[in-house]
Amino acid sequence: MRSLAAARPLTAARSVVALTLLVAATAACGGSGSDSGGGPGGLEKTRITVGTMPVADTAPLHLAMEKGYFKAEGLTVRTTTLSGGAESVSRLRAGALDISFGNYVSYVLAHAHKAIDVRFVADAFQSAPRTHAVLVPKDSPVQNLKDLEGKKIGVNTKRNISALLVRKAAKAEGAAFDDDKSFAEVDMPNMETALKSGSVDAVQAVEPFVTAIENSGTGRVVADLGKPPTAGFPIAGYATTASFAKDHPKTVAAFQRALARAQKQAAKRSAVVAALPEYTRITAEQAARMHLGGYPVTLDPGRLRRVVDLMREFGYVREKVDVERLVVRPEP
C-alpha cells in the first residue's frame, strides 16, 4: 500500500503513497564503527542500511537519526528511499537492505508466497480518524459505501491495504466489492483529478490528500476508514529477514531501542509536524493541517493478527500465518 498517511498505507506492486510528491530522502547518521563487530554492546554490525519512504509513517525514523538515538546505540544508519512494498521485499531478499519499512499486507503476502522469510522488528504506524478515507465528488449523490456498489473506486494499489480497508468497512454496511471489478489503480497525486474527470466514482485517499481534496472543494468524505471497524488498524512496520535477525540479534535490538525512543517522541504532534517538511515535500502549512495516525512503541503480535485475519477474511491469503513466530522480541 502506498501511504502518505497521517497514517500509510503503504503499499504490493507500488507504494501506498505517491512518491512523485515526495523528495528522495537519503541520510546517514550515527556513531562511528566498522561494518561488523567491535561496536558498543558487541554489535554484530554497526553500519546498517534501512529502507524507508518519505511519508508521515516514517517520521520516527527521521527523528531517531536527527537526534542521535542510533548513534547512542552504536549504530550508523544509512537510508535508501523505496517506491513501495514490492521493492522493500525484493531488496531485503537480495541483501541490499538490512531492515526496511513497509506495509504489513505486502510483507504478509510475500511471506505467505514464500518470497521472503520475513521477521518484524518494530511497529511504525496505525490508522486514526481521517488518515484514510473514501471520498466522492462534492456533488455526488453517494452518501455511503453501500451507494458505491457497482461503481468504481480509485485505490493506489489493488489487492493491498487500501482495497482491504474499503472492503472491510463496506461489509459492515452490508455492501460487497470485488477486487478486480470494483477498484481501479490511481496514483495518490492524481486522485483529485480522477474525481474531477469522472474516471472513477470515488477514491480511497490518505493524508495529506484527504484534506487537500476536501479543502479544494473537489470532494467530500463518505467513509472514514480510521473509524470502526478499521479503527487503529496496523498499517506499516519495519521488517528484516529471518537470517539477518538470527545472525545479528544485538544489532536488531539496538535498532529497536533507538526507534522505540523516537516512536515515544512522535506521540507529540508538534514533533511530527516539525519533522515532515524536513524529509518530505509536505509543506509546513500542510503538516499543520494533517490528521496524524498513531506511532506504536511496542510491536504487539495480537495487533498484527488483525492484519492476517482481515487478509484471510477476504481471501488474500488462504493458510494461517503464525504472527507470533514472525515477531522479533526486543532484548530485555
pLDDT digits (tens, 9 = 90+) for 260-275: 999 999 999 999 999 9
172: its cell numbers: 459492515
Q: How many CB atoms lie under 10 A from the CB of residue 175?
A: 18
136: its cell numbers: 466522492
- Averaged pLDDT score across all residues of the chain: 88
Give residue-wise pLDDT tens across range 48-95. Answer: 999 998 889 999 999 999 999 999 999 999 999 987 778 899 999 999
More confident residue, 172 or 31: 172
Residue 48 is predicted with a pLDDT of 98
Of 101, 100, 59, 35, residue with least CA distance to 251? 35
Give residue-wise pLDDT tens across range 2-21. Answer: 444 433 444 443 443 333 33
Peptide bond into 8 cis (omega under 30): yes
Average pLDDT over residues 136-142: 97
Q: Are 72 and 258 in contact (CB under 8 A)?
A: yes
Alpha carbons 45 and 249: distance in angstroms, whole number: 10
Report in angstroms the alpha-carbon separations of 95 from 79, 240, 246, 328, 332. Answer: 14, 10, 14, 19, 28
Alpha carbons 85 and 164: distance in angstroms, whole number: 15
Task: Identify the band that residue 28 occupies on the pLDDT scale cut at 50, 70 and 90.
Answer: very low
Q: Are 48 and 238 in contact (CB under 8 A)?
A: no
Give residue-wise pLDDT tens across range 207-255. Answer: 988 998 999 999 999 999 999 999 999 999 999 999 999 999 999 999 9
Alpha carbons 90 and 292: distance in angstroms, whole number: 29
Q: Based on C-alpha coordinates, what's the Rg of the chain?
A: 19
Q: At residue 30, does pLDDT exceed 90?
A: no
Average pLDDT over residues 183-198: 93
Give residue-wise pLDDT tens across range 262-316. Answer: 999 999 999 999 999 999 888 999 999 999 999 999 999 999 999 999 999 999 9
State whether the Cα torsion 243-304-112-109 is positive or negative.
negative
Alpha carbons 156 and 160: distance in angstroms, whole number: 9
Q: If you search the block for the grid coordinates 504478509, which residue do you land on?
A: 108
Domains along the sequence of the chain with CATH: 19-127+233-326 (3.40.190.10), 132-224 (3.40.190.10)
